[in-house]
Amino acid sequence: MKPGKCKGCGLEGAPGPVWGSGEGKMMLVGEWPRDEGEVIGGVALGGAAGRVLRVACHAAGVDREECYATYAVKCLPGKKGPGKGVVEWCAKAWLKEEMEGRRVVVVLGEGALEAVTGEKRGIGEWRGAVWVQGEE
């Protein structure tokens, strides 16, 4: 589902949304768009960080074009990041549906980790870990 705008998270009026795109069973989840250029381009993980991601995918032998890319928070939240509750709201409204049918979900940042797992912890604690949805 890709509506033009959504309501309820507190970012109404912010630039965006940037919806996920791509194919494949692997999903890459970034935190949120970082600048207006990413919003205008409308491609998740397509900015400067996206260029680094392409290099990392190539080095790992993963075809970036065969991955579904999205953001945990779809709209540009500003320099301070999304306010309290926005990550959780957006995850419930959109991200959980996007995750359906994906075999591998790679989180890129603490906001993405929080959206996927529902836990607010440092990403360093999870580095290299495998989390299976529905298991503790």
Answer whether residue 9 is part of any domain: no
- Asked if the structure places residue 100 within a domain, the reply is yes
Residue 11 maps to a domain: no
Per-residue pLDDT at 135:
57
Peptide bond into 3 cis (omega under 30): no
In-domain check, residue 119: yes
Q: Which residues touch 43 (CB under 8 Å, ≥6 apart)? A: 18, 21, 50, 69
Closest CA to 18 of 9, 31, 27, 100: 31
- Spatial strand order of the sheet with 67-71 comes to 67-71, 26-30, 104-108
Q: Which domain holds residue 60?
A: 26-125
Residues 29-63: tens digit of each pLDDT: 999 998 888 888 888 988 888 888 899 999 999 99
- Per the domain annotation, does 47 fall within a domain? yes
Supply the pTM of this predicted model. 0.87
Residue 36, H or E segment: helix 36-41
CATH number for the domain spanning 78: value is: 3.40.470.10
Phi, psi dihedral angles at 67 (to 5 degrees):
-115, 150
134 within a domain of the structure (yes/no): no
| pLDDT at residue 134 is higher than 70 | no
- Report yes or no on 7 lying in a domain: no
Q: What's the number of domains the chain is made of?
A: 1
| Domain membership flag for residue 4 | no
| CA dist list (Å): 127 to 50, 53, 58, 85 | 20, 16, 20, 24
pLDDT band of residue 3 (cuts 50, 70, 90) is: low
